């Protein structure tokens, strides 16, 4: 039997840290299996700046944190220069994301669930769905040839909780969990935010979802409704 072919996973979030939180354990697990990890943040998330710190300086810090996390998983990070809180809901940014998809050639894309208390998250969901379509459309002429990512997942984020129902459970072991937490700890907002205890929440959530899956740790995802089909010949 031939060895498993490596795949590429592209996590697309509204801000630096979004995909690292909701899919970091799974991405760490895939990295340890030999897969390629790429993250794209449409904004740096710089308006969550610590008190007393300059916003521009914090943006540079967030970009460094994105690259640090990705490099610890053997991957790479991209961060657009869009201002935090101002992700445009237009065709231009859909085409920019389309171009990244065509360049990276992922087998899997992970992004936000459709509903969110954060406008950038909900906008990013719509952008990614359309960009994935554009990327796979051969008649959409761009610099790079078409590429269709066959699998699309929406991660579980505490800010995107309305109507989120876990559909896919992906488990991972202690080694992947430890790598994820080590990489996640390089993000200031995860360890230093006074508004929400991100670290405890996502560590606990991974354990709870793992227990539900009868495993050690897990992260959950939704998928596009049109792909929610069980195919079988008998009950």
CB 35 within 8 A of CB 23: no
Q: Give the single-character DSSP code of 107.
A: S
Tens of pLDDT, residues 60-110? 999 999 999 999 999 999 999 999 999 999 999 999 999 999 999 999 999
In this structure, CATH architecture of domain 8-224: 3-Layer(aba) Sandwich (3.40)
Structural contact between residues 109 and 152, judged by C-beta atoms closer than 8 angstroms: yes
1 pLDDT more than 50: no
What pTM was computed for the model?
0.96
The C-alpha atoms of residue 227 and residue 235 are separated, in whole angstroms, by 20
67-76 pLDDT, tens digit per residue, is: 999 999 999 9
Rounded CA-CA distance 198/39 in Å is 19
Q: Is the pLDDT of residue 182 over 90?
A: yes
CA nearest 153: which of 12, 20, 7?
12
In tens, the pLDDT along 196-225 reads: 999 999 999 999 999 999 999 999 999 999
Largest distance between two CA atoms of the chain: 63
Domain definitions of the chain by residue range: 8-224
């Amino acid at each position: 039997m031939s060895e498993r072919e490596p795949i590429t996973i592209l996590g697309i979030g509204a801000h630096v840290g979004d995909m690292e939180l909701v899919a970091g354990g799974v991405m760490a697990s895939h990295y340890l299996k030999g897969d390629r990890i790429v993250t794209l943040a449409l904004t740096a998330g710089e308006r969550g700046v610590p008190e007393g710190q300059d916003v521009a300086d914090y943006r540079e810090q967030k970009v460094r944190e994105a690259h640090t996390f990705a490099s610890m998983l053997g991957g790479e990070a991209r961060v657009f220069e869009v201002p935090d809180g101002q992700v445009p809901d237009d065709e231009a940014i859909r085409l920019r994301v389309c171009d990244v998809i065509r360049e990276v050639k992922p087998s899997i894309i992970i992004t936000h669930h459709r509903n969110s208390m954060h406008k950038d998250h909900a906008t990013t969901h719509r952008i990614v769905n359309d960009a994935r379509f554009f990327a796979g459309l051969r008649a959409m002429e761009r610099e790079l040839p078409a590429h269709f990512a066959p699998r699309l997942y929406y991660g579980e984020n505490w800010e995107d909780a309305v109507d989120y129902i876990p559909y896919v459970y992906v488990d991972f072991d202690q080694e992947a969990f430890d790598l994820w937490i080590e990489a996640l700890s390089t993000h200031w907002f995860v360890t230093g935010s006074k508004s929400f205890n991100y670290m405890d929440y996502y560590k606990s959530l991974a354990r709870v979802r793992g227990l539900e899956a009868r495993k050690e740790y897990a992260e959950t995802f939704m998928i596009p409704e049109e792909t929610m089909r069980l195919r079988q010949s008998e009950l």
